[in-house]
Amino acid sequence: MGLTNSSVGRSASQGGFEATNLPVIALAGNPNVGKSTVFNALTGLKQHTGNWAGKTIELCSGKCKKEPWQLVDLPGCYSLSPRSREEAVARDFLKERKPNAVAVVLDATCLERSLALALQIIEITEKVVICINLIDEARKCGIHIDAERLEMRLGVPVVLCSARSGEGLCELLEAVKRVMANPPENVYRIQYPKSVTEYLQNSGRMPFGCSNKSDKNEDGEQENPPPEAEVSLEDEVSKSILDACRELCCGVVTVVPPESCGRECRGRKKCAGCMKCGCKACKRCGECGEVGDVRRMTRRIDKILTGKFTALPLMLLMLFGVFYLTIRGANYPSELLSRGLFALEALLRKLFDAIRMPNMITDALLSGMYRTTAWVVAVMLPPMAIFFPLFTLLEDLGVLPRIAFNLDKGFARCNACGKQALTMCMGFGCNAAGVVGCRIISGKRERLIAILTNSFVPCNGRFPMLIALISLFLAGNSGGSAAGSLTAAGVLALVVVFSAAATLAVSFILSKTLLRGESSAFTLELPPYRVPRIGQVIVRSVLDRTLHVLGRAAAVAAPWGLAVYALANISAGGETLLSWFCSWLDPAARLIGLDGVILAAFVLGLPANELVIPIMLMAYTSGSCLTEISSYAALSEVLSGNGWTAMTAVSAVLFTLMHSPCSTTLLTIKKETGSIGWTAAAAVIPTAAGIGLLAVLNCIFG
């Protein structure tokens, strides 16, 4: 759900900056102001965008379509005084790489707040273009921005833009050209108090942390405490910046009641330079104007989605709705796709026979590689093709940050960071992406907690198995009935709630043992509700997410299916290696309510969770190849015939939630932490938790 090769585009450079001979143009701005949308529009790439703050967590570069430039999308930051890792990345790039020009993207709906970063960047370089994005949303709210007046005051070009529709992008490119050719000279400078100016002159520092030598480590954390004098002047610097923003916006930003207003409003034009004035203007014309309607509706929805008594039921209802549509909609396509793929296998077998390919090679390729891959595709594609668009829809609507807001108090009580709720949501798509997303958490201790517990959230590779087992044994839905789908969706929603509870519990335990400490404060921005663009939702979710994840799973399934096929066909002492391995694990598996085949499938399924059921079926059936399973009913017959009960299914579902993450996630954890020890802990902690829980349940109910 996060940053993937597909979601960034072929020509994008992710995770660093590759120097070229082309002029470098940096895109900077606050989180969730549309930088990535501007970047995509100018480069034609497909970097992940969404209606929440913190999606861009590292540098992303690409070539501009219309000009010979290299564009670099910087992580969103509120200030050049870095308080998080992504803010440090943005600050260091501007300070050390010295781009040829900087386009600072601002939010037209809250110009004063986003202007603060622009003023700090102007202190570093005069080659700045102000791009005021989301101007279409500002117009809907009755906000008018006088770009010419702001340009005169700042001394740098100002362009009004709507990146989603393409408005103003050509003007933005022309402004960047002008700035590169003739850098502005008389740019606006913040007027600091005399005490601040004298200290900065004597220390050689800048007022927002861009000293000659960085005092922050790679995590954006303070390595050497700043002098007491600097700490005492920090408030004065902040006040000077805010005063400058307020002064610049006064007379530039006005709230104009819509012309369609039937009655006369007393405040037809009211200065919206500061938040206080803007609120007064809304109150004066809110009863009859569009401005009041939009903001009043937003507040009403927020009161419901984040209300004390309504938030949790609504979250559960949304989960239930998404899972019901996924389960109900995926049943028939999965069965149809399975039949088609296995019919294709029969044709391939005839083709191989016609060219006289040896039977051993034919069986290895078709019964091993092809059949395993076909199962993964048939089981994964339909649910993902439904789940990802629905999840993306909630993301674009602006619901995800509200979910994080609701969970913030729970994570704070567990001494973890509330941003962990966002990384947990990213884990629903892919745990590896959730681990990478943990970079938005500034504190090293809290980031480690988020990384170590991210695998408790079921990813897309585990959802097909969860859906299958719940439908067959806990909801009686092997036939795909509407009532069975409702029950299965309800049970799956409860399973996801349990995974969130397990995440909180383990986070609390870690904060009291291995990673002691208190939770830190953070800025959580609730974006406005936006109407999703259905076409973009479908393209981004199906092409960039579903097919990318499916391709990765199939690439792992094919060679690993061949390896497991070899284990199932190589005999030693009259028993295949796969059967021997299952028998060896069986005593331990019985202690936790499973059997040797199930436990062996989880162990051998380490490369990808999608392989667990195919390996299980290969071991349960003839032992030499994967049996053709074209429906849930056929799957139910195989599992029930090998002693599966409802309790076995419950144990398998819980162990699906609580076992080692896949190899891709483990490699990502190693890259993010730089530690083999923490990588091993990420594998051991969920596995130990799962074994402990299942052992207790087996003692009670076994």
Q: Report how far apart, in Å, the C-alpha atoms of 682 and of each of 113, 450, 669, 676, 679 are.
A: 39, 10, 8, 10, 5
Task: Tell me which of 145, 163, 181 is where a domain ends.
Answer: 181
Provide the CATH number for the domain around residue 18.
3.40.50.300
**In this structure, what token pair is assigned to residue 233?**
């002047």
Tokens of 497: 């709630």
Cβ pair 367, 628 in contact under 8 A: no
Instruction: Quote the percentage of the chain above a pLDDT of 70.
Output: 81
Q: What is the structure's pLDDT at 649?
A: 93
User: Position 584: which residue type?
Assistant: W
DSSP result, 449-471: HHHHHGGGS--TTTHHHHHHHII
Residue written as tokens 């564009």?
71
For 628, other C-beta atoms within 10 Å of its C-beta total 19
Residue 325 has pLDDT above 50, yes or no: yes
Phi, psi values for residue 536, rounded to 5°: -65, -35
Please indicate, yes or no, if residue 297 is contained in any of the structural domains: no
Using the predicted structure, report yes or no on whether residue 308 has a pLDDT greater than 80: yes
Q: pLDDT, tens digit, for every residue of 50-65?
A: 544 555 557 788 899 8
Q: Is the pLDDT of residue 446 over 60?
A: yes
Q: Is the pLDDT of residue 133 over 60?
A: yes
Predicted confidence at residue 275, as pLDDT, reads 41
Into how many domains does the chain fold? 2
Q: Quick one: residue 52, left, alpha or beta (phi over 0 = left, psi -120 to 50 = alpha)?
A: beta
Instruction: Examine residue 212 and state whether it is found in any structural domain, yes or no.
Output: no
Higher pLDDT, 57 or 430: 430
pLDDT at position 7 is: 33
Least confident range of 148-152, 278-282, 328-332, 398-402: 278-282
Q: Which two tokens stand for residue 208?
A: 């927002």
Encoded tokens for 272 = 């919206």
Tell which wins on pLDDT, 603 or 315: 603
For residue 626, the model assigns a pLDDT of 60
State phi, psi for 561 to the nearest 5 degrees: -60, -40
pLDDT of residue 657: 94
Asked if residue 288 belongs to a domain, the reply is: no
- Residue 29 phi, psi (nearest 5): 160, 170
> How far apart (Å, rounded) are the C-alpha atoms in residues 161 and 37?
11
Strand order from edge to edge, sheet including 60-63: 13-14, 60-63, 70-73, 24-29, 101-107, 128-133, 158-160
Q: Is residue 58 part of a domain?
A: yes
pLDDT at 226 over 60: no
Comparison of pLDDT for 20 and 373, the residue scoring more:
373
Q: Phi first, then psi: what are they for 485, rounded to 5°?
A: -65, -40
Q: Is residue 35 part of a domain?
A: yes
Does 435 reside within a domain? yes
Residue 12 banded pLDDT, cuts 50, 70, 90: very low
207 pLDDT tier (thresholds 50, 70, 90): low
Residue 383 belongs to a domain: yes
53: containing domain: 5-181
Determine the 3-state secondary structure of 122 from DSSP: helix
Residues sharing a CB contact under 8 Å with residue 431, sequence separation 6 or more, in sequence order: 454, 455, 457, 459, 661, 662, 665
Q: What tens digit of pLDDT does each residue of 493-547 get?
A: 999 999 999 999 999 999 998 888 776 666 667 777 877 778 777 877 777 777 7
Q: Please name the residues in contact with 615: beta carbons below 8 A apart, sequence gap of 6 or more.
A: 564, 600, 601, 604, 605
Helix (H, G, I), strand (E, B) or coil at 693: helix
- Angle among Cα 561, 567, 569 to the nearest 5 degrees reads 100
Which of 4, 90, 198, 34 is CA-nearest to residue 527?
Answer: 34
Percent of the chain with pLDDT over 90: 26
User: Residue 227: what pLDDT?
Assistant: 53
Mean pLDDT is highest, among 232-241, 313-322, 539-548, 688-697, for 688-697
Cβ atoms of residues 594 and 554 within 8 Å: no
Last residue of a domain, one of 131, 156, 181: 181
Q: What is the mean pLDDT of the chain?
A: 80
- Listed in sequence order, the DSSP H helices in 208-310 are 228-249, 275-285, 290-305
pLDDT recorded at residue 501: 92
Residue 174 shares a structural domain with residue 315: no
Residue 323 token pair: 């899972």
- φ, ψ of residue 6 to 5 degrees: the values are -70, -40
The two three-digit tokens of residue 364, written as one number:
């290895």
Question: Is residue 406 in some structural domain?
Answer: yes
pTM: 0.73
pLDDT at 680 exceeding the cut of 90: yes
pLDDT tens profile 349-367:
999 999 999 988 998 888 8
Summarised one tens digit per residue, pLDDT across range 151-198 is 999 999 999 999 888 899 999 999 999 999 998 888 888 888 877 777
131-145, 254-268, 434-448: range with lowest mean pLDDT: 254-268
Give the pLDDT confidence score for residue 289 in this predicted structure. Answer: 47
Q: Where is the domain boundary, 122, 147, 181?
A: 181
Decide if pLDDT at 217 tops 60.
no
Lowest-confidence region among 43-52, 295-304, 592-601, 634-643: 43-52
